[in-house]
Amino acid sequence: GQQLNQSPQSMFIQEGEDVSMNCTSSSIFNTWLWYKQDPGEGPVLLIALYKAGELTSNGRLTAQFGITRKDSFLNISASIPSDVGIYFCAGLSNFGNEKLTFGTGTRLTIIP
Amino acid sequence: EAQVTQNPRYLITVTGKKLTVTCSQNMNHEYMSWYRQDPGLGLRQIYYSMNVEVTDKGDVPEGYKVSRKEKRNFPLILESPSPNQTSLYFCASSFLGKGTDTQYFGPGTRLTVL
């Protein structure tokens, strides 16, 4: 199946710092989604992007749908302890079943 | 409360012993899906269902079966589990399975096959 390359794999930052992560694909996607997974929980949708070039915010989170439709970026400003978790990108291509392909995840750790 | 439930949350079993992981949603969603999550590989789709009696293979269906006899339930069946099926499994549902629908995930089932 399709593969999404997500980077970095892990991040160790201090509280208050900004965070950036990205996702790239060899294929075009029509929709990009960003999920967060807390320890012991299932992923929860943070932001959905539907158009190339779209920039969408959700509180301190901002995500962008790349112009080429092959990448997406997530930024978190002024990180706080509850931002800890694993962040996944996911791409959706409309080939009948509209299957989601997930990235490999970015594990965010905040150092006190 | 709208939710997706999975049972059991944790399971340790032995090779070859058939098992079923149940999934149930109370949101009247048509679309349901199973994923497995492995370190460094993200979530990979095993099977999905667009509606009752309609199921289809995802990216990694080998060794798994599913059924969708009623809208709310979507059990995952491992007829003869093997150690390479040790993983964290998530069930998810959404209204129609369209890109604009939010997928709701269950809390996960951690399976260990010895």
For residue range A9-22, list pLDDT tens digits in order: 999 999 999 999 99
The pLDDT value recorded for residue B64 is: 98
Quickly list DSSP for chain B.
Answer: ---EEEE-SEEEE-TT--EEEEEEESS--SEEEEEEEETTTEEEEEEEEEETTEEEE-S--TT-EE--SSTTB--EEESS--GGG-EEEEEEEESSS-TTSPPEE---EEEEE-
Encoded tokens for B27: 């949101």
Pick B56's closest partner by Cβ from A6, A97, A103: A97
Residue A40 pLDDT class (50, 70, 90 cuts): confident
- For A49-88, the pLDDT digits (tens) are 989 999 999 999 999 999 999 999 999 999 999 999 999 9
The pLDDT value recorded for residue A39 is: 86
* Single-letter code of the amino acid located at B39: P
Question: What is the mean pLDDT of the segment spanning A86-101?
Answer: 78
The pLDDT value recorded for residue A97 is: 58
Q: Do A4 and B42 touch (CB under 8 A)?
A: yes
With beta carbons under 8 A apart, name residues in chain B contacting A9. 40
The pLDDT value recorded for residue B61 is: 96
The pLDDT value recorded for residue B100 is: 63
Bridge partners, A7 (sequence order): A22
The pLDDT value recorded for residue B98 is: 66
Residue A94 pLDDT class (50, 70, 90 cuts): low
* Contact with chain B for residue A91, Cβ under 8 A: no
A residues 58-87 near B, CB within 8 Å?
A: none
Greater confidence (A4 vs A37) lies with A37
pLDDT, averaged in runs of 10, over chain B (114 residues):
92 97 96 92 91 92 97 97 97 78 89 97
